[in-house]
Amino acid sequence: MLKKRHILFLITVWMWLCCASILPDPLHLFHSEQSDAQAPVLAREALITPWTDPNILLQIISVVVTSVLTVVSILVTLRGYQENRRVMHEQQELARKEAQHEKEAKEKEHREFISTATARYHARLLQDEAMSSIKILDMPEPITLEHIHVGQRLRPLKKTDPGLEMNRGDTPERVFHFIQQSIEEEYLEGSFAPEEVLRDKKHIIVLGDPGSGKTTLLKYMLSRAIKDQLNGLHHLLPIAVELSRFARSQQDNLLDFLADDWHDNHGFPTFQEARAFLEDQFSKGKVLLLLDALDEAILGNKKSERQEAYRRVFEAIKRCCSSYPAIYLIVTSRLAEYKYEQRAPLPFAEYEILPFRKQEAHEFIGKWFQLEGPEDRQRIALGEELKEVLDNTPQLEMLVSNPLLLSLLVMLYERNKKLPTRLADLYARCIELLLYEWDQERLHPRYTYALLTVEQKKRLLSKVAWHFHQQRQRYFTEERLSAVVSQFLEQETPSAHSTAHQIIDELCSDNGLIKKQNDGAYGFLHLTFQSYFAALSIVEARTFKEYALQADTIEQLLLKELLQHPNDLWNEEVLLMYAGIIQDLSPLLEQLLNRKGMEDVFSITLILAGHCLVAHHREGEEPPAQQQEIIDRLLQVLHETPYTQVRQEVAKTLVKLAGIDTALHTHLFELIYHPTSKRALTESLLHAIGISGSSDDVEKLLPLFLHPETAADLRRILTDIFNRRYYDTVIKQNGILTTALLKILDDTRASFEFRHDIIRLFEQQEAPDIAPQLMALVLDPSEDTVLRIQAAILLANSSDSTTRARLVAHMNSEPQDESTPRCIAVALTFTTPQKILPQDRQRAAHILLDYLFAPPATDAESQFLKEVMVNFFGLPGISVLLEDTAIRQKLYHYLKDRNRDAEERRYIASLLTASIPIAPQRTRRLAAMLIQELQALTTELDHDGLRKDIEDLRYLLGDKHVPFDPSAYLKAAQSFLPVQKQMIRQLERQERWQLLRDRSLQPDIRAGIVQVLVEENDTVSIASLRRLVEEVALPLPLRREVVNALGLITNENKEEEYETARVLIQLANRDKEVRDVAMEALWYVSRRIGVQVVRDRFSRRLLLQP
């Protein structure tokens, strides 16, 4: 743009040009023919003449005036132009500000609208019972999720199912144990919180069986996200979608479907505004999209319609994640249907929900019965009773692992104050739930296009269960399952023309009673369901073709087949289910009681008859005529059997029968309290009550515990019973008992063992009212050191922060007695880090280490105190202290201090070595760092023995680069059994057997090797153990340990098991020194392979009878 100076310059140039056009050109003079002498004169005249000529001067003035006027005019015009521009600029600025203000107002209004809409959306979700609560079947009122939810864990989807490897010939007991052990290992090592998985993977699919808690998991994630409480995932907009509803909408785009919903239900004026908002949130990754039940997107009456509905939903999910990869997304589905229906896997990480363990089941029950508030003690007590019932019934372990079935059990118990007396009745109710009510309650149309009716499914499942029970198979191939289904279809008329493959797919997808594993194998949801349906097939006595020509009824034939091997644990569960289904138990009891043949040494059929009585019992019904005969015969065996295992099994059976027979219940307690009763009989009954008794039964044992003359070993059994299962129901709520126990604890005349057991009883006590007595015990230097430390441990782990603070204050003070802070310091090393401040823990560590580093005590009592504190209590504490770098450096400095006695330093090194196996989880995390530090330490040590000690420690941590003599090391570590076992586990099988055959090695060390073989179920070693036990020179304790191992190590090779049974029979017949342990081992082996141990009436020798 031109400025003023530019305009003036142009006008000046224009004026000069105008003047130049008026004035004559003086340069023409230089081109004339005048002489050079005249040129200057002429030039001067040419310059002067124009200014003297009036005409020319007038013209010049005219030009100047015109120019001035022009300049003025231009300046005026320019001034107006600038003014116009200024006004226009002000107007534009005003308009811009108004537009900006309007824009900001609209944006503010939009933000407020979005905030209001989102808040309204959150509030609506929280108020929506379908989203924030759970309601099962005919539950009268829904339950708020946050009041009942139990934390769920996920694991990466596996190719095999727990227990799948244990297929042929496995007993229900073994399968239960194996599966529970696998689940426990998964929880400890391979499971993750849902938030953790989501943070790592962003897009996941969660799979599970019916009722495993998939929908509950999404509701929980939704609730947590609304409250911004997801760990590591903040400010997310949670959106839940039922995929069946999306499938019914016939839409192909999830965002459009959601925009319709937000426009209709959440206050957005137009669909476009709702979609723009959602697209913005999706693009920024601020969304947690929760898509529930992919399996329920299979809609339609025809297969092609269902496949098309599934495909449309499947593709919509893939497109959504492809378009908006930053969102967080969880899809849930039943495992079987996801694996069957998909044509290509979703590009997500696959996880499955872990079943509940006992801990989660107990937590769920506790929350359920506290819904009315903690002051409702009657409901809380009812919940504790249910926990007790479940603990007493191993067959229910697999039911309570499923949240849906656990909820059913809780509801039944809440309504009736008990579960169905017959276990079979309970399973019948669960099957009714899974076969029909669950999908109907969820309003899913799956049941409307079923190929089989519910009754047909029950008959088919019964046939499948019986067929594979006969084959002793827990899992089976699709080919074998198809053969059974095809045979069934020849006899039945399905509601539609169906193939075996289609029927199998329906069984897997609609209720999960038949479950397809990830590797293609099939099996029942739990082994107990297979046992129930197998028993049902006997009762229904279907006329299968293979039995059509037989004269007897099908039921008699099947039952006869089942009773051919009553000792077989594989058959026992089916027999008990059968006993619970039938109306008349007498025919079955007659067959069990009147079996002909040689004497049943283990009384297996008698014990089984007792279990059948319990399984058949239903309140209000007359007991079978044989009940009293069975009880009398069991009591006779209890008194007369010379075999510990038989006595214990009979005692457990009698305790169960006492629950249905009042006279027997009274008689058993008379036996326990009778002064002339044999110790072995009393111990068996106590153990049995601890396993199978009720809380009322346990409470009746309290006088025996409190009696001062009760033997220490019996009181220890009672203490274990109280602590293991009945503390809350028997001890904690009994104020009078607590007072009595504290009085005995204060009585120094009471035996150490008695007071020790009382402190053990208080290990679970959270109430602060026992703290004063425990604190007084800790502060009294005249009291037993072990009792003081135990009391300090209880106080240090108390939930009462005031009590813990007082304990720490006493440690940090300057007491007259130096033992008090040492006792407290040891106790603090047992305390979880969350309960103790870091500086207090460090102070405790230094007190403990200073005591360790002190010279050996001169008097025997002080030396004993040190050994007790270090060896008994200090080892776990040292393993905790190793996590502290400063503490480790202090230990290393002590070990390198040449001014200290070498043997003292070796003692500290041995304690370090001994502490490693005490806390393997902790030291495993530190192993690499400790090995590196110890490698450097080894080069700085001045003593060969000390260097060897540190090398042993390195080996124990996993450092294989050190010279190692396992025999010498085991001898050196003889005082620390955990250390021995840790080292043995790291040895190769060949090294173990070399040591086991080394006669110079102490028998107890060799026994430790055998114990490790048992713990690892080393089946390869069975044959070698059989040969080893025949060696005459084998020390008796070691022989007994080997014989015991033969009974405990299981082998899927039945021929090997038979050979083991033959060796055990020979030992029981000829070797009195190991007869009792051989008979105990025979109990387990004979039950696994389904043979009876009988006694020949003439020779009185033991025999195996198939």
Distance CA 683, CA 689 (A): 10
873 has pLDDT over 60: no
pLDDT for the residue numbered 681: 94
Most confident of the ranges 246-250, 352-356, 637-641 = 637-641
pLDDT for the residue numbered 447: 44
pLDDT for the residue numbered 972: 54
Q: How many helices (H) and strands (E) does the chain have?
A: 55, 14
Most confident of the ranges 202-206, 523-527, 762-766 = 202-206
Distance CA 481, CA 479 (A): 5
Percentage of the chain lying above the pLDDT 70 cut: 76
- Mean pLDDT over 395-414 rounds to 82
Contact 878, 917 (CB under 8 A): no
Q: Which CATH superfamily is domain 151-164+181-355 in?
A: P-loop containing nucleotide triphosphate hydrolases (3.40.50.300)
Q: Which two tokens stand for residue 537?
A: 């097939």
Q: What is the pLDDT of residues 329-355, one digit of tens each?
A: 999 988 766 765 554 567 888 898 988
Q: Phi-psi region for residue 781, left (φ > 0), alpha (ψ -120 to 50) or beta?
A: alpha
Q: pTM for the complete prediction?
A: 0.72
Most confident of the ranges 290-304, 457-471, 808-822, 913-927 = 457-471
Confidence of residue 634 (pLDDT cuts 50, 70, 90): very high
Q: 243 Cβ partners below 8 Å, 6+ apart?
A: 291, 292, 293, 294, 296, 297, 313, 331
Distance CA 1066, CA 1078 (A): 9
Q: Which two tokens stand for residue 988?
A: 């190769």
pLDDT for the residue numbered 2: 53
Q: Report which of residues 488 and 392 the model is more confident about.
A: 488
- Mean pLDDT over 285-301 rounds to 84
Looking only at the bridges linking them, the beta strands covering 203-208 and 349-353 are parallel
Contact 337, 297 (CB under 8 A): no
pLDDT for the residue numbered 170: 41
> Distance between the two ends of the chain, CA-based, in angstroms?
116
pLDDT for the residue numbered 879: 56
Look over the chain and give the mean of its residue pLDDT values, rounded to a whole number: 78
**DSSP assignment letter at 445:** G
919 has pLDDT over 60: no
Most confident of the ranges 521-530, 534-543, 1038-1047 = 1038-1047
Confidence of residue 639 (pLDDT cuts 50, 70, 90): very high
Domain chopping of the chain, boundaries: 4-120, 151-164+181-355, 423-582, 766-875, 882-979, 987-1106
pLDDT for the residue numbered 918: 47
686 has pLDDT over 90: yes
754 has pLDDT over 50: yes
Which among 745, 691, 744, 694 is positioned nearest to 721, based on CA atoms?
Answer: 691
404 has pLDDT over 80: yes
Q: Which backbone phi and psi does 212 adopt, to 5 degrees?
A: -80, -10
Most confident of the ranges 135-139, 649-653, 747-751 = 649-653
Distance CA 835, CA 837 (A): 7
Distance CA 1104, CA 473 (A): 25
Which has the minimum average pLDDT: 431-445, 657-671, 754-768, 841-855?
Answer: 431-445
For tokens 């040891």, the residue is 826
Q: What is the pLDDT of residues 162-207, one digit of tens each?
A: 443 333 334 445 555 556 666 766 676 668 889 988 988 899 999 8
Confidence of residue 326 (pLDDT cuts 50, 70, 90): very high
Q: Report which of residues 360 and 18 the model is more confident about.
A: 360
